[in-house]
Structure formats: structure tokens, C-alpha cells
Amino acid sequence: MGQCSSRARQSPVDFAADAAGMPAASNLPYRYQPIEEAFELQNNGRTYSADLSAMGYGGVAHEDAWYDLMNLNVHAMSEHTFAGQHFPAELHLVHKRYDGDALLVVAVPLVSPSGSSLLQRSSHVNSSRRASFLQRQEVETYQAPPEGDAGFNAMVQSFLTVALPPPHGSIQVPAEEANPLDLNILLQGGSFLEYAGSMTAPPCAEIVTWLVRSQPLMASDMQVRALVDGVYATTGGTGNYRSVMPLGGRSLVLRTAMFEELPQPPGGTDGVTVGSGSAAASTGAAAATATIANEALRVAQNATQYAAALEGQLQAEANAEASAGALPCTTTPPADLGPVVQAVVAAATQEIIAAANASALNAANAAVDHVKSHLMSTPPPSSR
């Protein structure tokens, strides 16, 4: 199974304090594209995981950096606890920083109308009954949780329209344009507790920013039970949650999730539409590189304006000095110096402007190359 190499900033943790009393940070901008095509749901022997990387399905912005959605996985019981109490399940949306290895995980606890009674069932039903769960699925006709149940959650149902895969198996989860999988529901209207932490499986690398929804998301009893029973069956009745780790001196802040339009580079990116379909996979990179290019252009414009003002000032001073005969150490008549000085200043100004424009052009070209490199590594959008 492997071991975790550090305990300095490990995850998960317990949130003992009232979220309302925590310091508030800036908002958490997010946007996910509706998933209208079938996707693969895998059972790796420890969890159910939907690989959504490089599909252009969006992500979140955090501290001026963009994080692309990588995958969604299921934990039972919840990994994070509140005042020492677990919820029946927890969904993890795993994101990766567009220009590095840092991860950001949005964790969403799930609860159902039965609440604690379902949680108790999840913890104490004997493992032999759990182990028979997937066998029953194979011999019985699968029936998805009914939509009319109390607490029914359309997003959770998207993963339960077909029987969950057996250990080390996978299924194609159907999706359609008329009824897409909308991950925005997981963040909509939520406040999130942020802390610096780690992955919760070995080697437990401490490269994760965690954002844990402070209030659980509601789903029906049958929906939550299907996920919980499936995870417990897969793991032989042990579940796949890690014990909480000491928070230590780590700070907690509260962020409010805000649905926002994804940024568009001015003028687009060489005809590529950013922010829709599979082409949106480079949205974060495009936004970041466009920002760099725009800043370079702004600096170039300021430099150009400064050079023009400097040229005017020097020309005025040169003309004044030439008229007053105040230019010493020269063998050239003063009347002839004005045009000479003007020519020199004009040439220097042109060099300054050319250098500034070249810097802006280089920055812009670098930005475009960065965007193109991301687009080249992204599969072309399939026809919808």
C-alpha cells in the first residue's frame, strides 16, 4: 500500500470550529462545461473514478492561477469530519494547476434524508454483506434510484444510470445533450473551507490545496446508499477514507464559490474558440498567457508614450539652446545644431520604440506559442 513520508501538512482534517467564525478570503471562481458525451467510470479497487482530464470541461481559479479539472472520485465515508462526525460519502473534484504540478481538490460531502441512520449503516453492516453487493448487481437487473425520492440529486444520478463497475473494471456512463452531467451543482451556492494539505493516499504528497464544502450536498437515500455500498463492497468492507490528521498550526479560511464566465483573450487565439467543447481545455492557459501579452503591450505603449514625450522635450530644449547660442565645445555653427540634435533624438526615439514594440511582440508571440502548445496536446473537439 505504501507509506506517507511526512506528517507536516497531511489530509484529511477535522473542522471543529464554526465556519461562520472563520476569516473570509476572496471568492472561488469556477465554471464547468456540461458533459454531453459518454465518459468512462473506473473502479480501481479502491474508489470509483471518472477521468475527465484534457477534455476541456473547465475548472476553478485560485489565487490568480487556473486549475484544470482532472478527475472525480468517490469516498465512503467522508474523509473530512465536522466536529468529529463523518458524512456517509464525499466526492472529490481533483484539479491540476495549468502550468505546474500543484493540485487543488474540491471536496463535497454527501448526506441523505436518513442522515445518521444511513451513516451508521455504512459503518457497521458486516463486510460479507458488503462483499455480495457487486455479485447481486451482476445477477439482478439494475434499477437506478427513482427520481421521485426525497433529496434526489440529478448530478449524483448521472453516475448511477447504469450499474457501478466491479473492482478493476470500467463502464461507459451515458450522457446526452438534453440531459448533461452538470458538475457546477457541486459548487453552486456553497462556501468552502480552505487549508493546505496533501493527497490522502501514499505517498501523500503535500502539494494539495483543499477546499471542503462547509455544508453537505443532499442526495436521496438510495443514491447515497448505492455509492456507499459500492465503495464498501470494492474495499472488502473497510471503506476508502483516511483517518483525520492533526491540523497543527495550519490556517483555515472561508471562500464563497462564484460561477463565472471563463476569460476570453482579446481577439481570440488565431481563430480558436476558447471556452466551449473540447477546445476549452486550454482556457486557463489561454487566459494566463493573454494576460501576460496584454501586460507586455501595455508596458510597450507606456514606453512609446514616454519616448515621444522625451523626444518632444529634448527637441524643445535643443532648439532653445541653439537659439540662445548656449551649446559650448562645438565647431559647428549653432544654427546648424538644431536639426542635428533633432535627428539624433529622433533616431534614438525610434530605437526605443522599436525595442519596446519588439518586447511586446516577443511576449505576444510567446503567449500565442504557449496557447498553441496546449491546444496541440488537446484532442480536437468531437462533433456534438
Of 241, 260, 279, the last residue of a domain is 260
Residue 267 lies in a domain: no
The per-residue b/e assignment along 220-247, b for 16 or more CB within 10 angstroms, e otherwise, is: bbbbbbbbbbbbbbbbeeebbbbebbeb
Bridge partners for 71 per DSSP: 51, 94
197 and 80 belong to one structural domain: yes
Provide the number of structural domains found in the chain. Answer: 2
173 and 248 belong to one structural domain: yes
Average pLDDT over residues 117-140: 53
Residue 291 lies in a domain: yes
- The helices-and-strands tally (H runs, E runs) of the chain is 7, 14
Residue 143 lies in a domain: yes
The answer to whether the predicted template modeling score (pTM) of the entire model surpasses 0.75 is no
306 and 254 belong to one structural domain: no
CA 270 to chain centre: 24
112 and 174 belong to one structural domain: yes
More confidently predicted of 97 and 365: 97
Residue 356 lies in a domain: yes
The DSSP code for 233 is H
Provide the percentage of residues in the chain whose pLDDT is more than 70. 61
Residue 269 lies in a domain: no
Would you say how long the chain is, in residues?
A: 384
Q: What is the pLDDT of residues 63-91, one digit of tens each?
A: 989 999 999 999 999 999 999 999 999 99
Residue 363 lies in a domain: yes
21 and 146 belong to one structural domain: yes
d(CA 330, CA 169): 90
d(CA 52, CA 200): 20
Mean pLDDT taken over the chain: 77
302 and 206 belong to one structural domain: no
**CA 289, 292, 295, 296: dihedral to nearest 10 degrees?**
-100
Residue 8 lies in a domain: no
Average pLDDT over residues 259-271: 52
Long-range pairs, 349-352, Cβ under 8 A, ≥24? 349/307, 349/308, 349/310, 349/311, 352/303, 352/304, 352/307
Residue 185 lies in a domain: yes
- Assign 141 a pLDDT band (cuts: 50, 70, 90): confident
The DSSP code for 35 is B
Q: What is the pLDDT of residues 14-61, one digit of tens each?
A: 998 777 778 888 899 999 999 999 999 999 999 999 999 989 999 999
Could you list the residue range(s) of the whole structural domain that residue 22 is in?
14-260
In contact, 163 and 171? CB cutoff 8 Å = yes
183 and 76 belong to one structural domain: yes
d(CA 80, CA 197): 12
**CA atoms within 13 A of residue 370's CA, in its CB half-sphere:** 20
d(CA 59, CA 103): 12
Residue type, 353: I
89 and 200 belong to one structural domain: yes
d(CA 125, CA 111): 18
Nearest Cα neighbor of 215 from 189, 241, 252, 244 is: 189
In contact, 209 and 62? CB cutoff 8 Å = yes
Q: What is the pLDDT of residues 198-222, one digit of tens each?
A: 999 988 999 999 999 999 999 999 9
291 and 248 belong to one structural domain: no
In contact, 46 and 240? CB cutoff 8 Å = yes
Cell, residue 149: 425520492
The total of other beta-carbon atoms located within 10 Å of residue 370's CB is: 20
162 and 297 belong to one structural domain: no
